[in-house]
A and B are shown apart, each in its own frame.
Chain A
Amino acid sequence: MAAVTIDSLLQNPSLLFRPKAKVLLKPPRSLDCSRNRKLPLSRGSCLCSFNPRRTIHVVRASSSETALIGNFDTSSSDDILYKDIFPVKRIEKVEGKFFIRLDRSKDQHDWQLTVGCSLPGKWILHWGVSYLGDGGSEWDQPPKGMRPPGSIPIKDYAIETPLKKLSEGDIFHEVKIDFNPISEIAAIHFVLKDEETGAWYQHRGMDFKVPLVDYLEDDGNTVGAKRGFGVWSGAVTGQYRIMSQVAYFLVIYRIPSEPTLGDVGALQQFSNVLLKSEASHAGSQNNSIESKDSKNKNRYLEGFYEEQSIVKEVSVGNLVSVAVRKSPETGKVIVCLETDIPGDVVVHWGVCRDDAKIWEIPAAPYPPETTVFKNKALRTLLQPKATGNRSGALFTLDEEHFGFLFVLKLDDNTWLKFKENDFYVPLLGTSNVPGQYGQSDSTSEEISSKSYTDGIINEIRNLVSGLSSEKSQKTKTKEVQESILQEIEQLAAEAYSIFRSSITTVPEEVVSETETTKPAVKISSGTGTGFEILCQGFNWESHKSRRWYMELKEKASEISSLGFTVIWLPPPTESVSPEGYMPKDLYNLNSRYGTIDELKELVKSLHEVGMKVLGDVVLNHRCAHFKNQNGVWNIFGGRLNWDDRAVVADDPHFQGRGNKSSGDNFHAAPNIDHSQEFVRKDLKEWLGWLREEIGYDGWRLDFVRGFWGGYVKDYLEASEPYFAVGEYWDSLSYTYGEMDHNQDSHRQRIVDWINATNGTAGAFDVTTKGILHSALERCEYWRLSDQKGKPPGVVGWWPSRAVTFIENHDTGSTQGHWRFPGGKEMQGYAYILTHPGTPAVFYDHIFSHHRSEIANLISVRNRNGIHCRSLVKIVKAERDVYAAIIDEKVAMKIGPGYYEPPSGSQRWSLALEGRDYKEGCRPSLIILFASAIVVPFFTQKYVGVID
């Protein structure tokens, strides 16, 4: 029988796919034995006053815990018209344990490393070893004897071994690796992989490393060392487009209690694994593989056991069951909906009149906890059932309705649909011939208006009798009242039927509408409003006058009037170099740019003209005040008088006593060890002070390659900037001196960094700048489209976090480390100021002959409401021309080649064009129109040209 199948389904909550189980009942008599209970249906108070007679019989099921369908037993099972069970999938967090154990095997000679995980999944240990005397972090394959059965070699450096349950009753999937401590093996390295989801789990962004000899250098990823586990995770957040191609890793410093996702959507497609930070040390006396400080220089191995909790998001199968029956008393149709989904479940529902399944709101009454949603649907919170973990609701509907439509909203704001569609339960087809399921199209207007008429007459009669008894002194004869009311009722019915038939309902996706709250309104530090345009407010020479703050103040309103919303000021601290990038005393804000008071004055004037102000903060390194005993400069003074523990250990120049750097080193000054709690605390305080004292709204973060993005997230969450952007600048990929077309690995590194900040910061789109260099300089405009037809820079992958630019104080100005091709600047700006991302314009370009053209471009951007998430459609990326249409509003082209926007529904008109007087890439051609931006006219959506 059907119920049996369902029982088994329920006991298997992790089932992923279930065929839709349809249960059409010739109701079995045996179900009749359940207890009956009459419940008056709660109704709106107004209606109650004149129609108290109406009751609905709700019948509770027996207390069977598992038989969901049992709850649909009714007083008379003959009334059941339709039953259906819809399997649904949703994402649920499952918590489990993860452990690493090193101990002696039974014979006391060999040792054994055990890795176990209690979460369901197809776990694979991806591992290798390193030998004594090996430098670097290369893996080798372990000797054959060490490989557990079932291991598969991966190329020549690793082994994959599945984790298994030793017996069915075991909680943990385990893998045991036996080894002989006398061997030459220095350490076992591994990462863990869940084949089911494709997620990887690493340790601090690197592999786990279990050292087997005690004099191994601790390079930060050792497990079982005194620090215990660092906090790590293989969280998969952010850019799902990238996720699908590249398995990449993310280390999160502090796991928030709720995982926050960078972009919506990733969650549903990828399982997400987070490891919680509380590492539990079992048997602390065993926990001493550690080494460096230990005086024992012999190879004495000690066992340890470490355990952590781990959270994985898996999809879970649940059921939604629906039964429809007809109430013999009222003739109404009652839909009974139930589910075993835990938590608050809201049914977003409506009815439809025909096969088109257009949502409508049915007549009251509605179940308790029902609200009307935008006149399009109703929302009912399912009430928990007395028994079991189920919730449900009863919906009473007039029999004329054709079908019942719904989707479910879970308490984590996810929506559940049925195979991409609304859930649909036929009503009408069943009501004509009870017990039989079939489509019936006999709903003529006549029938429904007849039932309507009867309904309303009853209602009004009740009203009249109520009123007349209350005002008996004014009694009129019953007949007269009746006839008047009938006349009103008939007129109303007539008006109703005509109005109703003339409603042109726009079929709107109910669910999608609630989800389209997205663009550009929410301010986050990664994007600002989404409509930001950045001005870099200095160049490499700005310090020379020693009164830059005052000079810039004079220009504040001018800069604002050009349309900039955010300005980036130079690094404000005392610095060993005049430009400010070699900070010393972070709390001393008197610099070559001016005094702290002048800075405050400047910030105030910038605020007055409506701009947000970014401080340039150098967090990667800091110049010391004093030497240590070896004569090395690594002791700091000033308010933050750190000692050499604040300096990373792996830069020999500065003899830091901190941990290994979490990023690349900047070799000109001591690199700060952000893994030190006291350092982070001080930096957070400092940022907070800058916000309060100076009024900075956000940050430009210098050299963020030097330390892990997770720390940046920490700083940003503490200082709550309006906007933040990091400088992650490394080299693009070149082959034989020529830039590769595919710069995915380059942009991936930047995206990884943004991801590590959890999207709390944007990053300069170095990739786009580099590609523009080649495209414009060499007339290779085809480079401006990647293999998937998207922009090839960060802006193509994560536009909202890409801060596009063509020049800054390092690349251009008087340094010219990587100058934008001369004469092509306006093409560059035409690109970044029309494209998504947050464009940044360099000071030198604003105050140059490009000024008016830049102002025009900004104006086009603002008038058309182009923002950091605008959609770009590349229409041409050929040798000599690149053209794109942004948000269907702005068409742009750069390059000497020909392009004309499509004619058709949109009329386009020229908004701006630029001329390139330089000789182009092909000397035989004269390039006159190097850039042209075209703005369309079209009726409703049209948004301004230059007035």
Chain B
Amino acid sequence: MLSRLFGCFILQLNRIRLFAGLPLDAVSGGSVNHFRAISAGLKALKLLGLEGVELPIWWGVVEHESMGKYNWSGYLTIAEMVRKAGLKLNVTLCFHASSQPKIPLPEWVLDIGKTKSNIFFKDRAGKPYRGCLSLAVDELAVLNGKTPMEVYQDFCESFKSAFSAFIGSTITGITMGLGPDGELRYPSHRGFAKSDTVPGAGEFQCYDKNMLHLLKQHAEACGKPKWGLGGPHNAPAYSELPTANTFFKDHGGSWESPYGDFFLSWYSSQLIAHGDRLLSLASSVFSDSAVNIFGKVPLMHSWHGTRSHPSELTAGFYNTATRKGYEEVAEMFARNSCKIILPGMDQSDKYQLKESLSSPESLLAEIGTACKKYGVGISGQNSTVGAPDGLKQIKKNMLSENLNDSFIFQRIGAQFFAPEHFPLFIEFVGKLNQPELHSGNLPTKEGTTTATDSVHTRSNLSIHMQSA
């Protein structure tokens, strides 16, 4: 009864459903960590009127020991807790590793990687990235005679049968892990981004044996065998500025040359094909379940102000000042009837380092436009690093057209419930429902769209969602 009253009072989130992410390490081994904290947290979130929670399920936890041996027990416990709390659940199937907290890939996969390091992405220096498998092995039988795609499929099917009691009722969304940090991208940046340093251009990741092989084949097919011997020689290294070498030069850089187009088209198409494989796998496995399938697309907003968009290019998005690269991505999501999760909705242009020519807002708008064109729903997330005035920016995005499905707030834990944060969150939730009171803070254009068109759009989408 209390919650009902409260719901009338604070919450009218019928337009954008609000989720909060559960801790990354909610389960380790077979058991739930911080059980009491999560159950108290779930109740609090329910009282606040949130739609549900997001739960990361790790490949490295469930299929930890050996191939095909799944341990879902901890996650089942949480699903039951969520159901009892009256919340919805969006699960994320994480086929990647986490560095903080440390959750590696399954041990048996790492073991295989010890002798076959080419199952991982490699950079120019030959350093492997152990956070996920290289997309080039998707369909190679490198995992004890099975292809990674088959292993992912087995995982999804096991999940489906283990959670059959929840899918479609408590579980309303499934996010398919697509790469590093679950995102559809190459691991073009390694290590942690530093908030106070200008990020580099990132590096192309086409140097594992299998990627090189694919590149070579492609080059030969194009009649340019010499182009297939390696990645661009004049691309800068990870943390170097794009200007450190000539590939990304704003004018006359190699990215604009026929070779650049050859390489970038190939590099990005490999990534999109990989996304397509995984999302169509998920769509087919869960085709008979009433759930939405999501995939996460990163917001590579550094250097967006240059013509070549180096961060996007190295991450695998062939999106430049002269090419709308996200349309192919949106088209691929549309083809699989999947929705896009976009992180970084708390980032605003004015808090970016000027030197990095970064523009999260305009990139978000670009992706938003591409999604709109193909009718792909967008669910938002905040970035894990946090941002000044982040809640304000999230609210702004939630009230704009950048977002039309749901928002997943990352992530509950000590900091989330801390006295310096939680009241702000309550306030944020409260204000979401009263945009008109604060439209003064917003550009007038957005103020008006909020009141009319976008409400309309969203209601359409929510119908679509319910029928899905």
A residues bordering B, Cβ < 8 Å?
Answer: 45-47, 49-50, 362-364, 371-375, 379, 398, 452, 455-456, 459-460, 463, 467-468, 470-471, 474, 476, 480-481, 483-484, 487-488, 491-496, 498-500, 502-503, 517, 521-523, 529, 531, 557, 560-561, 607-612, 862-863, 865, 937, 939-940, 942-945, 947
Contact = CB atoms under 8 A, between A and B. Distances in A.
A492 B44 contact: yes
Given A488-B44, A865-B127, A374 B209 contact: no
B40 interface: yes
B388 A371 contact: yes
Interface stretch (B167-175, B227-235, B290-298, B442-450): B227-235
B65 interface: no
Contacts, number: 176
A609 B36 contact: no
B418 A496 contact: yes
Interface of B: 2-3, 5-6, 8-10, 23, 33-34, 36-38, 40-41, 43-44, 47-48, 104, 110, 114-118, 125-128, 192, 194-197, 200, 209, 226-227, 229-234, 236-240, 244, 385-386, 388-389, 391-392, 412-420, 422-424, 426-427, 430, 434, 437
B240 A522 contact: yes
B43 A491 contact: yes
Contact of A494 (B23, B40, B388): B40
B140 to A, nearest CB: 13
A470 to B, nearest CB: 6
Nearest to B387: A372
A493 B40 CA distance: 9
Given A484-B9, A495-B38, A496-B419, 10 more contacts: A46-B424, A47-B424, A375-B385, A456-B423, A491-B40, A492-B44, A496-B414, A499-B37, A499-B414, A862-B126
Contact of A495 (B37, B196, B423, B437): B37
Given A496-B419, A943-B117, A523 B237 contact: yes
Chain B CB within 10 A, most for which of A467, A495, A496: A495
A372 B239 contact: no
B180 to A, nearest CB: 17
B125 A865 contact: yes
Nearest to A521: B239
A491 B9 contact: no
B419 A455 contact: yes
A452 B116 contact: no
A470 B38 CA distance: 33
B420 A942 contact: no
B117 A484 contact: no
* Contact residues of A: prevailing secondary structure: helix
B161 to A, nearest CB: 32
Contacts of B236: 523
Q: Top 9 A-B pairs ranked by shortest CB distance? A: A363-B420, A610-B233, A498-B37, A496-B417, A499-B414, A491-B44, A944-B117, A459-B423, A495-B41
Nearest to B239: A521
6 contacts: A49-B427, A398-B419, A463-B423, A499-B23, A863-B126, A947-B115
B195 A609 contact: no
Contacts of A467: 9-10, 430
A488 B48 contact: yes
A495 B417 CA distance: 7
B234 A607 contact: yes
Contacts of A943: 117, 127-128
B297 to A, nearest CB: 24
B424 A499 contact: no
Contacts of B234: 607
Contacts of A560: 229-230
A470 B434 contact: yes
Contact of A374 (B192, B416, B434): B192
Given A495-B417, A521-B239, A521-B240, A46 B392 contact: yes
A46 B429 CA distance: 13
A463 B427 contact: yes
B419 A452 contact: yes
A327 to B, nearest CB: 17
B237 A608 contact: no
Nearest to B37: A498
A503 B415 CA distance: 10
Contacts of B110: 939
Contact of A611 (B9, B125, B197, B233): B233
Given A496-B417, A945-B115, A483 B2 contact: yes
Contacts of A463: 423, 426-427, 430
A276 B109 CA distance: 61
Chain A CB within 10 A, most for which of B126, B192, B412, B415: B126
A491 B114 contact: no
B417 A499 contact: yes
Contacts of B392: 46
Contacts of A503: 413-414
B229 A523 contact: no
A940 B231 contact: no
Nearest to B101: A504
Contact of A947 (B116, B194, B227, B430): B116
A947 B47 CA distance: 56
A863 B427 CA distance: 52
A46 B421 CA distance: 11
Contacts of A455: 419
